[in-house]
Structure 1
Amino acid sequence: MLAAKQSFILREVEEGTGAAIGLEEDRSGMQAGLRLWFADLPRTHSPIVTLRPVGLNRFRAMLTFGNFASDTIGQMNRADAEEVQLARALVASIADSAVVRFAGDQSLDTWRIHDGSFSLTAEKRNIVERFEDDALATTCRELVIPILAAMAELYGYDPIEEAASPAGEIEGALSISVVRRRERNPRNRLLALRIHGERCKVCEFDPARQYPGLRSIIEVHHIQPLSSLGEPRAYDPSVDLIPLCPNCHRAAHTKRPLPWSPDELRAMCHD
């Protein structure tokens, strides 16, 4: 039954990770599953997530590496501290709705990919109508996407292509470009929404309730532009990004160069 949903699952995972994803059926287990990997790499060189139904009401996602992924793992081990932090936070977010296990003695807070023996398993239980689109979309968002998004962060997969900055505005344009890249990075969006929920933090608008099936209209907002920081610091979606509805997000940016703060917007919204 899972094989019949390949196109649906592929679309969900590509949108959630910002990466082109390869997919194929896997019939090696008790129930047929799907393998997903980065399409810009041969499957044998990529991290691979296998999604498989288990029992009557569970899904299990298992991360492994292809037999020839040593170069990919080497590149992941060169990830900087900020990328490692985001990758770990993405995997840790899975534990809110599923059971996460690592091979060996690794933990959610300190895991590191040293070689091809690394693996992690996430299992979501008590899923009602697990092959229906809503249940599958939730499973992708809560299991498959965070795992592959974490791997994409470590690998350095950048889904954003920025236009060249205009002459004479290099410093400011660079700061704006970095902020825009982080705002639009689907992996940051994913983590921000996992942390803060999908309700607007100013007006409390909930798109999932108001427009079922259109929850993606919620936007993420960078609270403090990098250009306003006195000193560089690590980027943290848990404090740097918040969900806003399209109206509140546009309202925030009517003030320049610094946007209205969430508190200022709330005061205007509730007056």
Structure 2
Amino acid sequence: MLSARQTLIREELEAGTGAAIGMAVDGSKSRTGLRIWFADLEERYGPVAEMRPYGLKGYAVTLGFGAFAGEVVRRIAGAGSEDVHLARALVASVDSSVEVEVQGQEMADWKITTGDFRMTAIIRNLPRDPEVALTEVSRDTIVPMMAAMAELIGYDVIEEDDHGEPEYEGAELFTTVRRRERNPRNRLLCIRLHGEVCACCGLDPRETYGVAGSIIEVHHLEPLSLLKEPRPYDPARDLAPLCPNCHRAVHTRRPEPWSLEEVVELMADPMGKAGIL
């Protein structure tokens, strides 16, 4: 079943992590599994997630490191506090029904210092439809785990910038990954924390456009370029979901964008009678 649905799994993982994904079927154990890694690092040199059936309607996902991943582990061990915070938040966003453990560490403050690191997730009672089940496991469990690794490694995204914000988000550029969002991990966390309803106009794109409605964008409430001094990054308070129209409207004022409250007032009083303009 896993081997026949590699394309489905890869598409979910690449959309969520913003990185090219490599994978291979692993028949070395009694139940056939799938090994997943970042394609540009190759299986031996970076983090590897192993996915196998578990029980009657479940999967087990174990994340560790390849045999020659020392350089990447050292890079991760030196990640900044903001990247560590975001990586932990990504893993913490996994649904509470999934049993997630880090070998020998507490989940609240796990860290990677050696190649012996192991994170395991057990997902039970999945839907009977195999494609629905694999989509759920990929999107809701493997994506946050691998996205956390991408954040710690320093994967970032270069995009044409039309909002007056910095080209880069997060840590030092490690590789170039072209996606619509500058950091797809931010979009993942924003949606998990706040949902997909626009914080300004209340539009739920999926209700309006159906399968074409995955268009919610991520807005930094305090633009990175305007930070007076570094402070801890908190995805719960620093990000907001906006529809494309409201996101563009927010950034029509520069260098300091309109606040969400100001945009809501503008929509209620477009002629500026309230004196915002």
TM bracket (short chain): 0.7 to 0.9
**Equivalent position amino acid for 1:112 in 2:** K
| TM-score in terms of structure 1 length | 0.86
Is 2:248 the counterpart of 1:250? yes
CA contact (8 A) 2:91 2:148 kept: yes
**In 1, Cα distance between the equivalents of 2:106 and 2:209?**
38
Q: What displacement does 1:250 show?
A: 1.8
The corresponding residue for 1:119 is 118
Query: Residue 26 and residue 269 in structure 1: after superposition, are their counterparts in 2 closer, same or farther (change >3 A)?
Result: farther
Q: In proportion to residue count, which structure has more helix?
A: 1
Q: Quote the residue 1:49 is aligned against.
A: 49
> How far apart, in 2, do the equivalents of 1:79 and 1:118 lie?
15
Q: Distance in 2 between matches of 1:99 and 1:25?
A: 24
Instruction: Give the Å deviation of 1:81.
Output: 1.1
Asked if the contact 1:94/1:122 (under 8 Å) is kept, the reply is no
Aligned pairs (5 A) from 1:1-271: 1-104=1-104, 106-132=105-131, 134-160=132-158, 176-178=166-168, 184-269=182-267
User: 243-252 or 224-233, which moves further after superposition?
Assistant: 224-233
CA 1:205–1:30 in structure 2 vs 1: closer, same or farther (change >3 Å)? Answer: farther
Matched residue, 1:166: none
Q: TM-score, normalised by structure 2?
A: 0.84
5+ unaligned residues in a row in structure 1: which ranges? 164-171
* Per-residue CA distance 1:170-199 (angstroms, 9 max, x = gap): xx96x5334699x62111111121111122
Distance 1:214 1:126, change over 3 A: farther
Mark the runs of 5 or more structure 2 residues left unpaired by the alignment.
Answer: 172-180, 270-277
Contact 2:47/2:65 (8 A) holds in 1 = yes
> Partners in 2 of 1:184 and 1:135 — Cα distance?
29
User: Per the alignment, do residues 41 and 150 of structure 1 end up closer, same or farther by CA in structure 2, a change over 3 Å counting?
Assistant: same
Q: Percent of counterpart pairs with the same letter?
A: 50
CA distance in 2, matches of 1:114, 1:179: 24
CA distance in 1, matches of 2:210, 2:29: 35
The CA RMSD measured in Å over matched residues stands at: 2.6
Residue 130 of structure 1: CA displacement? 4.5
Look up the equivalent residue of 1:107 and give its one-letter code.
E
